[in-house]
Copies of this chain bind each other. A is one copy, B any other.
Amino acid sequence: MELYGYWRSSASFRVRLGLAFKQCDYTYHPVHLVKDGGEQHSEAYRKLNPSELVPTLIDGDVKLNQSLAIIEYLDECYPENPLLPVDRVAKAQVRALAYDLACELQPVTNLRVLQYLTGTLNCSDEQKVGWIHHWVSKSFNAFEQRLADYAGDYCFGNSVTLADICLLPQVYNAQRFNVPLEDYPNLQRVHSNLLKLDAVQQALPENQPDAQ
């Protein structure tokens, strides 16, 4: 398999986590999201992924985008250590936790949105950071309440799931922008449990070859 991604991209981080939990080997192709206006906008990359977003996964003659679609695909291809429960209610609850972060928080704080805020809308750096803090806090407040119902060692009971894969990049980003986390004890506990796992260490942004 081949992964086109960027060390700091949340969605790339998610797919690296999926690949690491599934113990899949892959070749990594860094796509620098900032250099020269962003390599994701190059003609070569647009042929791979017309959305001009990372990641893209190549598996033989299969070409896939969208991190969550890729991880569900990996989970079907490699059923050992499942990332979703078998029970359909539990599965829906895990997916909902994942989407609470991946659909409601990440897209609103990703690079291209921040670029539009500071570029087209002329927002100050303070306004940009305020935007990030606002959406992270809103999202983590709700997530903390859900964790009180669902969490064990990890977001949903005591096995790693898709929800944990979505949590890690959002905590990474929150810390990067100094969002205070002390109001989220469940979230912090789960996060520190996750950091103990080899698969997580392998997938961390700072441990990628293109990390700066």
Task: Identify the A interface with B (CB < 8 A).
Answer: 50-53, 62, 64-66, 68-70, 72-73, 76-77, 88-89, 91-93, 95-96, 99-100, 102-104, 106-108, 113, 116-117, 120-121, 123, 127, 130-131, 134, 139, 141-142, 145-146
Contacts and interface: CB of A to CB of B under 8 A. Distances in A.
A66 B96 contact: yes
A138 to B, nearest CB: 8
Nearest to A145: B50
Given A121-B123, A127-B121, A52 B96 contact: no
B99 A69 contact: yes
Copies of this subunit: 2
B50 A72 contact: no
18 contacts: A50-B145, A51-B100, A51-B142, A52-B142, A65-B100, A66-B100, A66-B103, A68-B99, A68-B103, A69-B93, A69-B96, A73-B88, A73-B92, A77-B88, A99-B103, A108-B108, A120-B134, A121-B121
Contacts of A145: 50
A149 to B, nearest CB: 10
Most interface-central of A62, A93, A127 (chain B CB within 10 A) = A93
Given A66-B100, A89-B62, A92-B72, A130 B134 contact: no
Contacts of A51: 100, 104, 139, 142
Contacts of A96: 64-66, 69-70
A171 to B, nearest CB: 18
Given A72-B92, A103-B106, A120-B130, 9 more contacts: A62-B89, A64-B92, A69-B93, A70-B92, A70-B96, A73-B89, A99-B103, A102-B103, A107-B107
A92 to B, nearest CB: 4
B50 A142 contact: yes
A195 B26 CA distance: 43
Given A131-B116, A142-B50, A103 B107 contact: yes
Contacts of A62: 89, 92
